[in-house]
Amino acid sequence: MSRRKIVFSPVTRLSGHLSIEIVVDGGHVKEANVSSTMFRGYEKIMENRHITDAVYLTQRICGICSLAHGATASYLLDTLYDNRLSKNAQYLRNIMYGADILQNHLRHFYLFCLPDYVKMPDSPPFHRQNLADARLNPEDNQRLAEHYFEGVKASQKCHQILALFGGKAPHQHSFLHGGVAVGPNADNISQALALLQEVHKFIRMFLLPDIQLLAKVYRDYFQIGITPGHFFSAGLFKFGAKNEQNLWPAGILVNGQLETPNWELVEQDITNAWFQDKDTPDPYKKRAYTWVKAVQYAGQPLEGGPLARMIISGQYQGGSSTMDRICARGLETLLIAELMDKWLHKLKPGKPPLQQKKELVREKATSVTDAMRGVLLHRAVVEKEQIVNYKIITPTMWNFSPKDRYSQLGPAEKALTGTKIPKPELLFTILGRIVRSFDPCMSCATHVLDIEGKVLAEEEIF
């Protein structure tokens, strides 16, 4: 295969606009640029709003992982108002958050990932499917194709659990600062347990065996899409009166050394992003190729997500490949379902566990937690309860960071670079499998056009 530049755009089955430009030479990917091509910018939307609007507005960033933003904004407000959380509030919050993570993980595998490996029925949305590397025997292929549709139903049940306590899904209404606005009763607890039992059964009987089958048949993907294994987690599932405890720990894992994160070391680089400076967008900037800024920790690109969480928490021992990401996400799905069962049994029926203070005690705060795809950070500057500045750094910004001023590659670009392409017809299949293993959500990662299509500026508080 001679040297040539190839653009893979759009990368489908994901939220937002993603393009990949690669240089292939001698059957290997020599260079890779991942590009998000839509500028959005919730930071501008948030300005001059009442700070409590953050819980509702930020959820509209994404319809797939909306509660992640609502939860992070709620944690932020808890700090600004110095709220105290009850045990019941924390159980209920984590049940809701767990349900939203489950629906995402189930949809990722069956709707997002599976069509890369399984021959689907020749009808919409799979009409004229281009699968150049189908390895499953007919019986296994038929079974997994049927599970695609069952996976949709299982994901729907997770949303039903969330709606029992959140009022609706996506964009729930009750996970707020100070707790939860819906009082758990015997009926909604019982319904949630029944739904969770069905989801748990699906995970054990379908999801995990399906992942194990793919891992066996496509075992070479344990050697494809490898990153340096530099992982990052902000911790997941908060407990304690002040959200001070993470059930799954926060950590930075670089070169086998684990350390506690210092959030002041998070920084952004705009060398290859369409920004003239930290405040001014520049869509015509030479050599830039994405609206995503390179996000780093102490100058180091880091990978987040289920694989990072499972490795940092000691629950997964494996590598940093395409198939490792899929396997770790499956394991996490099972573990979260088991945790939710415990929390539902500990939840006490009663009044809404909501205790909101009315006076701000701080004018600046940072809130971090892990979301479905990795580390999510919200930071706010407030004056008289009005938002002066609101900053959001999403998981996909970490994983799909462009090259920085020193030409360091972000995790997704690193995973693509060096990949062997044995046959030209396998190019897009292999690239798609690698990229989708990160579960990208570019609508979260990019930044707003006005109604005339003019790019608006963004304030920077890092």
Confidence check: pLDDT of 41 > 60: yes
pLDDT digits (tens, 9 = 90+) for 224-233: 999 999 999 9
Residue 232 lies in a domain: yes
Task: Give me 139's structure tokens.
Answer: 């019986």
Are 202 and 132 in contact by the 8 Å Cβ rule? The answer is no
Task: Give me 442's structure tokens.
Answer: 């570019």
Residue 416 lies in a domain: no
Q: Name the nearest CA neighbour of 21 among 212, 309, 289.
A: 289
Residue 461 lies in a domain: no
pLDDT at 449: 36
Residue 394 lies in a domain: yes
Residue 185 lies in a domain: yes
Confidence check: pLDDT of 458 > 60: no
| Region 123-135 average pLDDT | 87
pLDDT digits (tens, 9 = 90+) for 60-119: 887 778 899 999 999 999 999 999 999 999 999 999 999 999 999 999 999 999 999 999
pLDDT digits (tens, 9 = 90+) for 430-457: 999 999 999 988 666 554 333 344 433 3
* β-bridge mates for residue 297, sequence order: 266, 300
* CB-based burial, 152-178: b 16+ in 10 Å, e otherwise: eebbebbbbbbbbbbeebbbbbbbbbb
pLDDT at 195: 98
**Mean of the per-residue pLDDT values of the chain:** 92
Residue 19 lies in a domain: no
* β-bridge mates for residue 380, sequence order: 365, 390
Are 54 and 77 in contact by the 8 Å Cβ rule? The answer is yes
What's the structural domain count of the chain? Answer: 1
33-47, 186-200, 300-314, 420-434, range with the lowest pLDDT:
33-47
In whole angstroms, what separates CA 296 from the centre of its chain?
17
Residue 281 lies in a domain: no
pTM of the model: 0.93
pLDDT at 202: 98
| Region 248-258 average pLDDT | 96
pLDDT digits (tens, 9 = 90+) for 181-209: 999 999 999 999 999 999 999 999 999 99
| CATH code of residue 311 | 1.10.645.10
pLDDT at 35: 92
364 contact partners, CB below 8 Å, separation of at least 6: 379, 380, 381, 382
pLDDT at 453: 40
* One-letter identity of residue 303: E
Compute the distance between CA of residue 305 and CA of residue 386 in angstroms, rounded to an integer: 32
pLDDT tier, 407 (very low <50, low <70, confident <90, very high otherwise) = very high
> What range defines the domain where residue 210 resides?
44-267+288-401
Residue 413 lies in a domain: no
